[in-house]
Chain A
Amino acid sequence: MSLTVSILAPTCHNDQKASARSRSTVKHGARMKRTDKTQSETELSPAQFAVLLAKVGQERDVDAFETIFRHYGPRVRSFMAMKTRDTQMAEELMQETMMAVWNKATQFDPARGNASAWIFTIARNLRIDAFRRKRPVFDENDPAFVRDDVAPADLELEGRQDAELLRKAMETLPAEQLDVLKRAFFDEASHSAIAEDLGLPLGTVKSRIRLAFDKLRTTLEGKR
């Protein structure tokens, strides 16, 4: 499924070395980068991307951002192209998304955050804006907002574990359930559109969605 990653990674390293040499500024960042590089021979883990994103936010680390850009840029572009069916628009929305990642990285909390989920929400929101639609959201700082009574320390532990657990759990989902989730997230297809495309009753599509999230929830809850 993720063949491109292994192809992408070596290119990514060479370029980083070159750019690290040309800019002698961020010394501490460069040392950290080497650790990342050895581990990224195959693929960076969600935890490593969270660390990189935090470095972008806290240190404005251009090297860390380059690694994120090279990994997520092409993925966000493909994500955008699925809905827009327009290469130029997909390219522009990818650029906007990655600019927003750079600008908003200060708001990313590495202890609780999941980098790929965070980047997905930015891409999703820009796609909604591009189609001039509105998606009301809650406000954490609203006095009427009801906070979670779970201790912040527990949430941090959760955040760190969840990204990796989710990724593994997704790999165990039956193909038919994964397919429905992909269509919902990437094509922005309604359940009835998915049912029509697949030639299935609406109830079957809905039950696949429920089964998929039951499985993911069981995995997340089982860890504690």
Chain B
Amino acid sequence: MSIQHHISDTLLLDYASGNLSEGWSLAVATHLALCPTCRRRLDAMEGAAGALLDKIVADHPVSGSDWEKMRARIACEPASGVTQRKPEVARAQKAAVPTGVIPEPLRSYLGGDVASLKWRALGRGAFQIRIDTGDPATQVRLLKIPAGKPVPEHTHEGRELTLVLAGSFTDGDDLFARGDLEEADGDLLHTPTATEGEDCICLAVTEAPLKFTSWIVRLIQPILKI
């Protein structure tokens, strides 16, 4: 089944411009690994950025000495750069059928695919894995929701990204299956529920809630005003 729920233009622009922090970017990049349509949209955005770069009015042109300096630097580089082009390697593998449930970059963050994961019970049959990133502004978790059950602990403020990796869930009239990305904001009251028949595994990225931070952070928060 093809992906029905894609990255919004505004979120994809943030990713294309390098303006999206690590936690959100992890969900976007993992969706991109599963979605050729959004990769083409990303290409178009980067193409637009390139066209804008062409049009930048430069403060001052490159001087003769700038070029001499650069030429000296490239002359020092080892000539090992001339190797087979990467795209050809990628094309040779084109026929390969995708294997594995969790694609990169998420798999590296988890340290392995589903079979090797160490889940922690979240109550009511649900499980989670907290994923560490260097991004203090987000909370990133992998959730496993039992078939037919609602997503637990579902109170959040601000933006939330949910990417389905296995099974599916419904939210109102919408069905979200593998590769589908749900973008919700704090104003939206929603009750995602795993579909009958298969447990749903999804990546959930939310704005870091203060209540989840450690007591040390809570202690120093007023001092640092974070």
Contacts and interface: CB of A to CB of B under 8 A. Distances in A.
B46 interface: yes
Given A1-B55, A78-B56, A134 B22 contact: yes
Interface in A177-197: 178, 181-182, 184-186, 188-191
A47 interface: no
A143 B82 contact: no
Contact of B56 (A11, A79, A99, A188): A79
Interface class of chain B by DSSP:
helix
B36 interface: yes
Interface stretch (B100-108, B150-158, B212-220): B100-108
B71 A66 contact: yes
29 contacts: A7-B61, A73-B70, A74-B58, A74-B62, A76-B53, A102-B77, A103-B77, A103-B81, A109-B86, A116-B50, A118-B50, A120-B46, A124-B17, A133-B21, A134-B25, A135-B15, A138-B33, A138-B39, A141-B89, A141-B90, A144-B107, A145-B33, A163-B51, A181-B13, A184-B14, A184-B17, A210-B9, A213-B45, A217-B44
A162 B11 CA distance: 22
Given A124-B18, A134-B135, A138-B30, A144 B67 contact: no
A75 interface: yes
A191 B17 CA distance: 12
Interface string A8-50: 1001000100000000000000000000000000000010000
A160 interface: no
B111 interface: no
Contacts of A206: 10
A185 B55 CA distance: 13
Given A75-B56, A182-B52, 4 more contacts: A2-B55, A95-B70, A146-B103, A147-B98
A189 B22 contact: no
Contacts of B116: none
Interface of B: 9-10, 13-22, 25-26, 29-30, 32-36, 39-41, 43-62, 64, 66-67, 69-71, 73-74, 77, 79, 81-83, 85-87, 89-91, 93-94, 96, 98-107, 109, 113, 133-135, 179
Contacts of B134: 134
A88 interface: no
Interface of A: 1-4, 7-8, 11, 15, 46, 57-58, 60, 62, 65-66, 69-70, 72-79, 81, 95, 98-99, 102-109, 112, 114-121, 123-125, 127-128, 133-150, 152, 162-163, 166-167, 170, 178, 181-182, 184-186, 188-191, 206, 209-210, 212-213, 216-217, 220
Contact of B50 (A147, A163, A186): A163
